[in-house]
Amino acid sequence: MDVQSIRRDFPILSREVNGKPLVYLDNGASAQKPEVVIDAISQAYSMEYANVHRGLHFLSNLATEKYEAVRGKIARFLGADEDEIVMNSGTTAGINLVSYGWAAPRLQAGDEIVLSTMEHHANIVPWHFLRERQGVVLRWVDPELDGSLDPQKVIDAIGPKTRLVAITQLSNVLGTVVDVKAICAAARERGVPVLVDGSQGAVHMPVDVKEIGCDFYVITGHKLYGPSGTGAIYIRRERMEEMRPFMGGGDMIREVSKDAVSYTDPPMKFEAGTPGIVQTIGLGAAIDYVQGIGMDAIAAHEKTLAEYANTRLKGLNWLNIQGNAPGKAAIFSFTLDGAAHAHDISTILDKKGVAVRAGHHCAQPLMEHLGVTATCRASFGMYNTTEEVDVLIDALELAHELFA
């Protein structure tokens, strides 16, 4: 894998910040975009734009063809069939679709949803809606001291009242990789569906939803080197048949009269309104790009980065790394000894051109479990290098000198 060649594909990586070369380590929040994605968006807006699905003219047919082709790209990327893919604005939309369209009609007071404490708020808040409105009980499974999540503890939390397991494949804070395949297998034996949050997982490793055995799998485009406002959810066919529409409007109807409405077949049944046409075409270009490199190659490169970063960060005895599970991804959350707040550390790093995240990372239950209010997070992508790890270390040493 030629990382320097890949870096040249991303225009923003050539710029400077505060007079320093940009070291972008905020990929867990959102990844940068390669030129092919930018070009695809520009081409779609400048020469190919029209609304999809409704028109019979040339531009509408062209836009529809390009838009719908992305459904197939996502399906192949996830190891699914095209009619199992619902395209949307991202993970949040996908999980809310499951909450409103599948869970709300069938869960009653006292029914349980099993979650891990590592979940992103996108995989927490929709279930809190059901807790508030329908009396659903949320059962939490904590990670181990090293940040790993024991799949058996998740399995043991599945009881006679469990109606759903909602679990991340890869923690956006700790980088922990979860054995979702084992969880799905055990849950299926008990007749319990599983939703897997693949927002981070699909970026850093090959994914095959049929092999995982999940019922729902959500991804978001902006972390996958694609545009914001894009994403998709894989839904097992039998679950699709159990779901009611979440939103009503154009594209999801078959017939509408004053007295009745009938819906079209899935997946269009769950895609109301004019979609993000151009953004989705950009997502298709991003998927083509990462598959051209190869997810195995990306995973191998990031494994090397994770090992190197882990070694270097561990050499800073005043740095507190939160969670260091075996086989973790190249995501590191940390604090400094003393009174320095994560925001202060991030500001110092920014002066050196290093972009990291600071805050609770949309994971406040995990922050509470860790006993911290906020952390800094350095999250790596396929275009990052070991030399950039060294720049991060130098910047952290400066922050330590200033705050010691």
Give catalytic residues, as residue numbers: 362
**The two structure tokens encoding residue 391:** 């720049």
The three-state secondary structure class of 314 is helix
Round to whole Å and give the CA distance between 375 and 267: 39
Q: Where are the beta strands (DSSP E) in 311-356?
A: 319-321, 331-336, 354-355
Phi, psi (5° rounding) for residue 267?
A: -85, -10
User: Measured between alpha carbons, how far is 345 from 352 in angstroms, rounded to an integer?
Assistant: 11
Contact 164, 154 (CB under 8 A): no
The two counts, helices (H) then strands (E), for the chain are: 15, 17
Q: Which two tokens stand for residue 43?
A: 């081409």
Q: How far apart are CA 264 and CA 252, in angstroms?
A: 6
List C-alpha distances in Å: 217 to 62, 178, 207, 293.
Answer: 29, 14, 10, 23
